[in-house]
Structure 1
Amino acid sequence: MTSVRRESPESAPRPGTTTQEVTVRRAPNVTAFLAAGAAIGAIAGLLIGALGPGSIAYTRAAIIGFFLMTFLIIGGAVGAIVGLVLDRISVKRARTGAAEVQDVRGGGEHPGA
């Protein structure tokens, strides 16, 4: 009696496919961190400008505008730095895996040619 070794359907190579090694990581959206930091900074600047002491030399609107823009820029910078730090951490935690790449064009032929 001969023994025949059959491959399971999952491990058998499919025609037109190759396996490649890929890097998988969860990367944060740095733009979202920048926008969130800017929004929090703008709210803080608005509150500080509106609730702070007044000035004879400047109007209330000028004081609010100054604090709003200053804290908006600082908050955006802090948010971007936090996003970049988290991105750097995600690079260190990256894992490698295997991905099956499938040729959908069918042997290099171009449709319509």
Structure 2
Amino acid sequence: MEQHPATPSPADQGVEVQIHSSPKFWPFILTFAVFGALVGLIIGLLGEPSQEYTRASASGFFAIFGAGFGVGIGALAYVIVDRVTSRKTTKHLAVPLAEDTDSSGQQG
């Protein structure tokens, strides 16, 4: 006799678990790094030209610092969003599943 996991038998013991969805870390970091690099690149291109540096080297310099600043802001944003979403946890009952059986009902 097979049993649906939603209706556990008295012999099965369920475990109460808390589930919360959290954002993915690397997409946050990479998005803010790219955005920071683009802002730095634009600042380097629109700024006053220097006698000591070419426009390209100044733009690259600002892009690198912008990417680093973006990573820091992205990490901070990730922590804030993770804290906000962690408050929205739900409790569920996890029930162990039966051993794997093939279609004839024999254990494989």
TM-score range, shorter chain: 0.7 to 0.9
Contiguous gaps of at least 5 residues in structure 2: 102-107
Q: Which residue of 2 aligns with 1:28?
A: 23
Number of corresponding residues:
99
* Matching of residue 104 in structure 1 with residue 99 in structure 2: yes
1:40-83 Cα deviation digits (max 9, x unpaired): 00111111111211000111121011100010000111011101
Is 1:73 the counterpart of 2:74 in the alignment? Answer: no
Taking a change above 3 Å as real, the CA distance of residues 76 and 44 of structure 1, as seen in their structure-2 partners, is same
1:37 partnered with 2:29: no
Any stretches of 5+ residues in structure 1 without a counterpart? 1-8
Report the alpha carbon displacement of residue 104 of structure 1 after superposing the two structures with TM: 2.7
Query: Which residue pairs with 1:84 in the alignment?
Result: 79
Give TM-score scaled by structure 1 length. 0.75
Residue of structure 2 equivalent to 1:93: 88
**Paired position in structure 1 for 2:9:** 13
DSSP 3-state at the match of 1:96: strand
Contact 1:18 1:102 (8 Å CA) reproduced: no
Question: 2:32·2:71 contact (CA, 8 Å) conserved in 1?
Answer: yes
Q: TM-score, normalised by structure 2?
A: 0.78
Q: Quick one: distance in 2 between partners of 1:12 and 1:80? A: 42
Query: Over aligned residue pairs, what C-alpha RMSD do you find?
Result: 2.4
Of the two, which has the highest radius of gyration? 1
- Using the aligned pairs only, state the percent identity: 28
